[in-house]
Amino acid sequence: MKGSHFSITVVLLMTFILTACSSAAAQIAAPATEAYKEIKSAPSPGVAELQLPERDDNQGNVAVNVRPLPWTDQSEEVVFEISLNTHSVDLAFDLANLAVLSTDTGINAQAIRWDAPGGGHHVAGKLSFPARVNGKSLFDGATELKLTIKGVDVPERVFTWVLLR
C-alpha cells in the first residue's frame, strides 16, 4: 500500500513538473527577433493603436529590457519602458543622450527624455522620443523601427521591430 501511494505521488509530481515546464517552454518558444504589429481598438473611433513586443539584450554585464508602450498616430511621443539590471556596473546613464530611434525610411529621432532614478544596479524608467520629426510622422511608410542605445557597458545595443502593413 505504501508503495502504491509513493508511486501515485511520484506520477502526480512528474505530471505537475512536466505541465509547468511545457507551459514555460511555450512562453519562451517565441524567438526574441520575432516582430509583429498588433492593431486593436483605440480610445477614439478611427484611430488605430500600435503595440509592439518587448525585447531583451544581455550583452556585457548589463541586462537591458525594452518594452514599447502602446501609441497611436495621434500620439505626440513614442515611449519605451526600459529596465537596466547588473551586479557590477553603476547605471548612472542618461539614456536620452545615448538613444536614437530610426526607421527604414531614413528618419532618425534623438530621445527627448529619460525619466528614471540616477544610478544603482537596477534602474527602470521611461525613454521618450518625438512621434514627429520635421513635421513627418515617424511611422509614415516605415516597415522597420530600430532603437539604438550606445555606451551602456557595450558599444551598442540595437532593438528592432518589423512593422507589418
Instruction: Give the start-to-end residue ranges of the domains of the chain.
Output: 1-30, 38-162
Quick one: pLDDT at residue 7? 42
Cβ atoms of 130 and 112 closer than 8 Å: yes
Render each residue's pLDDT in the chain as its tens digit; 165 residues: 455 444 443 333 333 333 333 333 333 223 333 334 443 433 455 556 788 999 999 999 999 999 999 988 789 999 999 999 999 989 999 999 999 999 999 999 999 999 998 888 999 999 999 999 999 999 889 999 999 999 999 999 999 999 875
Is CATH 1.10.3470 the classification given to domain 38-162?
no
Separation between Cα atoms, residue 128 and residue 67, nearest integer Å: 12
- How far apart are alpha carbons 150 and 152 in whole angstroms? 6
Q: How far apart are CA 71 and CA 43, in angstroms?
A: 11
**Burial 92-129, CB ≥16 within 10 A → b, else e:** ebebbebbebbbeeebebebeebebeeeeeebebbbbb
User: Is residue 147 packed enough to be buried (19+ CB in 10 Å), middle (13-18) or exposed (0-12)?
Assistant: buried
What pLDDT is recorded for position 119? 84
Check residue 44 and give its pLDDT: 53
Beta-carbon contacts of residue 69 (< 8 Å; ≥ 6 apart): 79, 80, 81, 126
Tell me the pairing of strands 55-57 and 63-68: antiparallel
- Confidence (pLDDT) at 80: 98
Q: For cell 556585457, what's the residue? A: 60
